[in-house]
C-alpha cells in the first residue's frame, strides 16, 4: 500500500472523503448565543427528557446521529461504524447514547479534541476502504462536566475569569466516499494527529493556556510537513481555546514567525456572547467544536464564503484524580483539513 503520509505527522487522503450530512443539537444557553439560529435543535431545558444529566447527554448524541441521518437521507443500516466519545469517565454518554443503533462502535477519547480524532479516524476508515460510510459524534454537557471536573452546580461556586463554560451539545457528521454531484461539498483532505504537549500548567480553571501549546505544535507540524503557509487557509479554527488560549496560540505561532491572527478563530469564542452570556473565557467541551463545525463552519464552506479551513479541536488531558494527585494538565490537538468544492 502506497504511503499516504507527508512529512512526519501528516496524512493526505488519496480520495478525500466527503462529509455527507451533519447535525448540531444544543442546550438552551447555546441557543441564546450568536449561533442560536444555526442549530438543528435547541433543547427547552438541560434534561432532554431524561432524569439525569448523563442520560440527557446520551439523548443528545442519539438525536445528533438521527438528525444527521435524516437530513442526509441516509439509513442507519448504511453506517458501517461510529467513532464517538465524550468527556465523562468511561465514555458513558456515548455508550448509553449509541447502544440502540446496533452499529459497530469505536470509542475514542481525546478530551475536547475528540471530534478531530473521531473525524480523522472515520476519514481513514472510509478512504482506506474499511467503511463506506462512517459517523463521528461527540458530546458534552455543562452540568455533567461540572459535576465530573469541578464542583456540583448546587455549590454555586465562583468561576474565575479564565474558566471556560462547557457547551451543552452534540454534533454528528456522516463521512462517506466522494461522489461528484455537481453540488458544492466539503471533503476531508488531510489530517495531522496530535501528540501530548505538556507545559506543566496545573490550573484546571485555565484550560486555554493548557491546550494552546498543543494547538501550536499540531499546526506547526502540518505547515512544516506540507510546506504550506497559514495563508493557504481561509480560516484556522481551534476547538475551545477561548480568549486566553487564542492569545497564547497567536503568540506562540508568532515566535515561529507565523502570523495567524487574521485567519484564526475558535469555536469557544464564536458560540457564546462574552458580554451578555457571562461565559468568561469562552466555550469548551467536545460538543463545542462539534456543534460549531456542523452549524456554523460547514454551512459557511458550502455557501462559498470559505473554501479551505484547518479545523483543530483541542483537548485538556486531565481527570479529577490526576488533578487532585497534583498532576499537570497536558494538551492535545488534532488537525483536520476541510476543503469545499464540487
- Of 32, 106, 258, 307, the one binding a copy of itself (CB under 8 A) is 106
Query: How far apart are CB 197 and a copy of itself at their closest, in Å?
Result: 8
Closer by beta carbon to a copy of itself, 35 or else 193: 193
Contact segment (CB under 8 A) with a copy of itself among 20-28, 121-129, 263-271, 279-287 equals: 121-129
- Of 129, 184, 202, 254, the one binding a copy of itself (CB under 8 A) is 129
Closer by beta carbon to a copy of itself, 4 or else 232: 4
Residue count of the chain, please give it. 342
- Of 332, 336, 337, 340, the one binding a copy of itself (CB under 8 A) is 332
Distance CA 120, CA 16 (A): 11
Is there a contact between 189 and 82 (Cβ–Cβ < 8 Å)?
A: no
Is there a contact between 61 and 84 (Cβ–Cβ < 8 Å)?
A: yes
Residues 201-260 that bind a copy of itself (CB under 8 A): none
Is there a contact between 1 and 129 (Cβ–Cβ < 8 Å)?
A: no
- Of 30, 40, 63, 127, the one binding a copy of itself (CB under 8 A) is 127
- Of 34, 36, 41, 148, the one binding a copy of itself (CB under 8 A) is 148
Distance CA 18, CA 265 (A): 23
Residues 250-289 as b or e (16 or more Cβ within 10 Å = b): bebbeeeebebeebbebbbbbbbeeeebebbbbbbbbbbb
Is there a contact between 169 and 27 (Cβ–Cβ < 8 Å)?
A: yes
In the shown chain, the binding pattern of residues 286 to 325 toward a copy of itself, with x for contact by CB under 8 A and - for none, equals: -------------------------------xxxxxx--x
Is there a contact between 311 and 116 (Cβ–Cβ < 8 Å)?
A: yes
Closest CA to 65 of 41, 43, 31: 41
Distance CA 82, CA 139 (A): 14
7 binds a copy of itself (CB under 8 A): no
Distance CA 177, CA 28 (A): 35
Closer by beta carbon to a copy of itself, 154 or else 325: 325
Is there a contact between 192 and 140 (Cβ–Cβ < 8 Å)?
A: no
Closer by beta carbon to a copy of itself, 192 or else 246: 192
Interface ranges with a copy of itself (CB under 8 A): 1-5, 9, 11, 14-15, 52, 54-55, 80-81, 85, 87-92, 95-96, 98-99, 102-111, 117, 121, 124-125, 127-132, 148, 177, 192-196, 198, 317-322, 325, 327, 330, 332
Amino acid at each position: 500500500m502506497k504511503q499516504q503520509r507527508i512529512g512526519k505527522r501528516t496524512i493526505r487522503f488519496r480520495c478525500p472523503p466527503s462529509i455527507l450530512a451533519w447535525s448540531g443539537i444544543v442546550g438552551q444557553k447555546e441557543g441564546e448565543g450568536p449561533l442560536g439560529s444555526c442549530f438543528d435543535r435547541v433543547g427547552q431545558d438541560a434534561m432532554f427528557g431524561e432524569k439525569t444529566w448523563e442520560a440527557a447527554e446520551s439523548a443528545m448524541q442519539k438525536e445528533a446521529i438521527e438528525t444527521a441521518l435524516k437530513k442526509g437521507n441516509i439509513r442507519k443500516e448504511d453506517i458501517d461504524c461510529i467513532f464517538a466519545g465524550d468527556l465523562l469517565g468511561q465514555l458513558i454518554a456515548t455508550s448509553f447514547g449509541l447502544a440502540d443503533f446496533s452499529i459497530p462502535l469505536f470509542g475514542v477519547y481525546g478530551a475536547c479534541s475528540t471530534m478531530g480524532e473521531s473525524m480523522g479516524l472515520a476519514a481513514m476508515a472510509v478512504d482506506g476502504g474499511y467503511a463506506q460510510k462512517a459517523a463521528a459524534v461527540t458530546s458534552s454537557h455543562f452540568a455533567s462536566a461540572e459535576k465530573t471536573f469541578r464542583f456540583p452546580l448546587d455549590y454555586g461556586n465562583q468561576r474565575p475569569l479564565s474558566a471556560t463554560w462547557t457547551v451543552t451539545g452534540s454534533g454528528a457528521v456522516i463521512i462517506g466516499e466522494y461522489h461528484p454531484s455537481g453540488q458544492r461539498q466539503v471533503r476531508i483532505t488531510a489530517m495531522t494527529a496530535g501528540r501530548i504537549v505538556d507545559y506543566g500548567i496545573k490550573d484546571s480553571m485555565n484550560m486555554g493556556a493548557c491546550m494552546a501549546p498543543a494547538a501550536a505544535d499540531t499546526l506547526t507540524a502540518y505547515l512544516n510537513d506540507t510546506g504550506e503557509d497559514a495563508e493557504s487557509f481561509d480560516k484556522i479554527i481551534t476547538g475551545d481555546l477561548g480568549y486566553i488560549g487564542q492569545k497564547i496560540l497567536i503568540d506562540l505561532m508568532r515566535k515561529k514567525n507565523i502570523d495567524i491572527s487574521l485567519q484564526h478563530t475558535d469555536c469557544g469564542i464564536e458560540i457564546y456572547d462574552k458580554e451578555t452570556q457571562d461565559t468568561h473565557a469562552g466555550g469548551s467541551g467536545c460538543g463545542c467544536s462539534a456543534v460549531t463545525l456542523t452549524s456554523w463552519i460547514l454551512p459557511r464552506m458550502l455557501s462559498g464564503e470559505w473554501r479551505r479551513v484547518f479545523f483543530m479541536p483541542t483537548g485538556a488531558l486531565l481527570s479529577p484524580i490526576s488533578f487532585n494527585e497534583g498532576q499537570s494538565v497536558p494538551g492535545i490537538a488534532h488537525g483536520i483539513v476541510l476543503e469545499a468544492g464540487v
